[in-house]
Amino acid sequence: MRKCNPLPLRSKMLRRLTPLILPGLLLVQCAPAGPVTSVPLPEKARIQKNAEPVVHTQAQLDAAFASWTETAQNPINFRLEGELKGKWRQLISESTWGEYARRCTTAFMETGQVSLTLEYRDYVRLRAALRNSAFRATLSADEEKVLQLVEQRVRQTLKPGMSDVQKTLALHDALVLSSRYEAEGGCNIADILRGGSGSCEAYSAALCVMAEVAGIPCRVVTGSAGGPHAWNLVQLGGKWYHVDATWDDPVIGTGARQELSHAYFCLSDAEIARTHSWNRAAYPPTGAASAAYYRLTNTYFTSFDAYWRAAMAACRRGEKSFEGYLTTYGSPAQFQRNMQRAASATTPRQLRWTGPDTASGPIILSFGH
């Protein structure tokens, strides 16, 4: 399958949530792709003489882009002032527009006027269509079919009376359980909803539009996590949280079973920054909440014994696995010793577990029923 145009950003980091006993789990990395170009054009006539708004800083430009792309505005016209005129190439770079578009054609005048024509990513156009019926009428026949498929998936997934947190969790779980990650897979929503597989760009785009259908504010974040990567920011209860459905859907090797994870659901900036990097100035900050998902679901534990009791209760109920956050995890060896100490005649004969490489974090314990 084709490679996507690269998502902007920078560093190399390895995934921190790794298997300890369960074999065959591969680290997720998004494959880099070929270059995307911003091509200067000579057609100055199409630039408005007094283009608005006036932009003085990169922060203003980032905020304006977020607003313009909510309606998939095209072309985008504005004017740079002062020293920014001589820095327009750096300002109007892929780090500014790459979240929203695959390509950008730029026209610039010495007076500071700028006109951009964007080839928007699919989620931007579908999101705009949900907000504006007139824009929806401009979608292609295939785009309309994809949007209807998204709406159908959301209707099938959500139940009346759900809170926004429950809706987001249900959409995240449905996407992870019905999809398979492929580093060089398709980049579009259609790839992952129709074909059942895709890249991180497809995961984040699909979740963004699904959240929009559910009435939950959501953005796609482009950054780096062991390579170019994309994930989401969702707004719940007036606060923003990071959600990385791709990293909650690990690639499992032959002979192993995939377990649904929430290690990257509702994280703060500080938490996800352990493994991800992004241009923070271009996105809203999160709160300082720690392990928000596990606190919300009462699976946050400060002692191994409490975690073990809850896990064994889940086993007796016939559940296949148990996921919880343990602040006293310590290390893989320590957790192994604690399990051996706590084991009894009623303990399942086969236990597989996946844990962090830090002193605390989420642990998935799988039972061999």
- In CATH, what number is assigned to the domain containing residue 129? 3.10.620
Q: Give the per-residue pLDDT at 33.
A: 35
Query: Residue 27: is its pLDDT beyond 70?
Result: no
Q: Are residues 331 and 206 in the same domain?
A: no
Closest CA to 223 of 180, 175, 280, 167: 280
Going by pLDDT thresholds of 50, 70 and 90, the confidence category of residue 258 is low
Tokens 């950003």, residue located: 9
Please tell me the distance from the alpha carbon of residue 52 to that of residue 68, in angstroms, as a whole number.
Answer: 12
As for how many domains the chain has, the answer is: 3
Half-sphere exposure of 281 (CA within 13 A, CB side): 9
Under 8 Å between Cβ of 150 and 213: yes
What are the residues whose beta carbons fall under 8 Å from the beta carbon of 56, sequence distance 6 or more? 81, 82, 84
Residue 57 lies in a domain: yes
Dihedral (CA of 193, 195, 200, 205) sign? negative
Average pLDDT over residues 209-213: 97
Please identify, among 295, 311, 344, the residue that sits at the C-terminal boundary of a domain.
Answer: 295
Instruction: Clarify whether residues 97 and 217 are in a common domain.
Output: no
Residue 43 confidence (pLDDT): 44
**Is residue 96 situated within a structural domain?**
yes
Give tens-digit pLDDT for 231-253. Answer: 999 999 899 999 999 999 875 44
Q: Are residues 83 and 130 in the same domain?
A: no
Residue 360 lies in a domain: yes
**Which residue segment(s) compose the domain that 352 sits in?**
298-367
Cα 325 → chain centroid: 21
Does residue 10 surpass a pLDDT of 90?
A: no
pLDDT confidence of 124, banded at 50, 70, 90? very high
Do both 236 and 329 map to the same domain? no
Asked whether the whole model's pTM tops 0.85, one would answer no
- Whether residue 176 sits in one domain with residue 49: no
State whether 141 and 284 are in the same domain: yes
Judge if 337 and 252 occupy the same domain.
Answer: no
Edge-to-edge strands of the sheet including 18-19? 18-19, 351-355, 361-367, 321-326, 300-301
